[in-house]
Amino acid sequence: MKNVYRANGKLLLTGEYAIMFGAIGLAIPLNRFQEMHVDKKKEVKPYLYWKAYDINGLWFEAKWKLPNFEIESTTDISKANFIIQILQHIRLESPFFLNDSFSYVTTHFCNFNINWGLGSSSTLMVNLSQWAEIDPFRLYFQLFKGSGYDIACATVNTPILYSLENFRPKIEPINYFPPFIDQLYLVYSGSKQNTQEAIKTLQSFSESTLKQISQITYNFIKATNIKELNDVIREHEIIVAKELGLQPIKDTLFPTFPGQIKSLGAWGGDFWLVVSPLENNEIVSYFSGRGFTTIIPLKELMLCKQKN
């Protein structure tokens, strides 16, 4: 019998970096997801078979000998070793996981481009945790330095306020679907940022900065028009830029843009949030003319599109 597991992708709209140290961030689960199909079979020698697909087709394939996760074959040794690291940590929590003399065939489907940074790793970890029946947060914090907001988004259906209190996740479901949602866009930067590399040497923000970021998150949610929202975004960008020693993306690449542009997640890659009074065709023309051709209205990715 085939088992199927599914986990949502994610976006963090406020609180990047600061959320790791206790600031409150606004995160939204997406209607982009990763689904994992697991089939069990008896063979003379047990193996774990793995095929991963995204919207562009097969992007990774591997085969491991069980129970010790020895690589038999793979299309990418670094990705295969990354998966082994996850599987070995799961085995520590669940000694019988993939250790029952059976072979397993796993097929993974992302309904988004895995280079977009919408959660291919976090959705994988949640799917594997569901399969092994372990806590995905515990697995995540054993392996990574981060906030875990992406793990939270993988299993919720509404936007959330997310923070860490005493290093434990605090998740508050909220409604977020502003009246000006049609003026919020996501523009892909063209490069995928490695979040773990970006935060490796990051030091904690000051307590006052964390409070500022948390208040900005509430102001972001409460904004009633795009002028208010753009003021909030500009304040957020200036604070984070100062902490990182970087310049906001709008200042460096788009100084004349009529609106605001906010980096999302690890600065320097993935998506930007764009808020502007321009019409859709003007937004597309502006960014496409500068080489950024993946432009998606935010509401098209949101899992929850209206207030209850």
Q: How far apart (Å, rounded) are the C-alpha atoms in residues 175 and 83?
A: 35
- Read off the pLDDT of each residue in 82-88 and give the average, rounded to a whole number: 97
Percent of the chain with pLDDT over 90: 87
* Whether the domain at 3-171 and the domain at 176-300 fall into the same CATH topology: no
pTM here? 0.93
Given strand 271-275, what is the order of strands in its sheet?
Answer: 260-263, 271-275, 184-188, 295-297
Q: Regarding the domain with residue range 176-300, which homologous superfamily does it belong to in the CATH classification?
A: GHMP kinase, C-terminal domain (3.30.70.890)
In terms of DSSP bridges, do strands 103-110 and 47-54 run parallel, antiparallel, or are they unpaired? parallel
Confidence of residue 308 (pLDDT cuts 50, 70, 90): very low
Confidence of residue 89 (pLDDT cuts 50, 70, 90): very high
Confidence of residue 203 (pLDDT cuts 50, 70, 90): confident
CATH class of 3-171: alpha beta
Domain residue extents for the chain:
3-171, 176-300
